[in-house]
Amino acid sequence: MSAGTSIATTTRLRLRELVEDDAGFMLELLNQPDFLRFIGDRGVRDLEQARSYLRDGPIASYSRHGLGMYLVEPRAGGAPIGLCGLVVRDGLPGPDIGFAFLPAYYGQGYAFEAASATLAHARTALSLPRVLAIVSPGNDRSIALLRRLGLRDAGTIQLPGKDEVILLFETTEPG
């Protein structure tokens, strides 16, 4: 299987659609302690479950919504370092930006670079009027990143079927 369609390129990174061959990376990322703590346990414990997760989640989202989570990899080549993209969720009035990176790539500006490219893609290629973001209280790194990206606090929200009240952010600029 070939690599997915490229969505954006930055100085250091390339964002592309996920494909089933990314299952090994997804298995690793979905089981990172920070992912489990701040995003949630997706119950993915082996490669077949990772492939199924990709098919039923991000890959299905591309055809259903025209957007989704994208793999983030070094532009110069090498192993994937994270995810960044847009998600359509029940209970939210618009798509939200999400991101997750392997711990080895924290604090190096990759999340900001990938999220900036994702927001630019949302504005230009997708013509989205606004982008939301949700984050668990206490996820200080993600909250700081959302603010640095220019998203503003928009209160709290409880998604359908969830017990946790989470923080809501939104883009401030039109279109």
Joined together, the tokens standing for residue 135 give 């984050």
Long-range interactions of 33-42: CB distance < 8 A, separation 24+: 34/100, 34/103, 35/100, 38/135, 38/136, 38/138, 38/139, 38/142, 39/98, 39/100, 39/136
| Cα–Cα distance measured from residue 52 to residue 91, given in angstroms and rounded to the nearest whole number | 24
Given CATH 3.40.630.30, say whether it is the number of domain 6-170. yes
**110-126: pLDDT as tens digits:** 999 999 999 999 999 99
**134-158: pLDDT as tens digits:** 999 999 999 999 999 999 999 999 9
| Cα–Cα distance measured from residue 152 to residue 149, given in angstroms and rounded to the nearest whole number | 9
Query: Structural domain boundaries of the chain?
Result: 6-170
Joined together, the tokens standing for residue 158 give 């409880």
A 10 A CB-CB count for 6 gives 11
Beta bridge partners of 100: 83
Cα angle vertex 129, ends 137, 147, to 5°? 30
| Cα–Cα distance measured from residue 43 to residue 161, given in angstroms and rounded to the nearest whole number | 17
Position 175 confidence tier, pLDDT thresholds 50, 70, 90: very low
Residue 133 phi, psi dihedral angles, 5° rounding: -150, 145
**74-93: pLDDT as tens digits:** 999 889 999 999 999 999 99
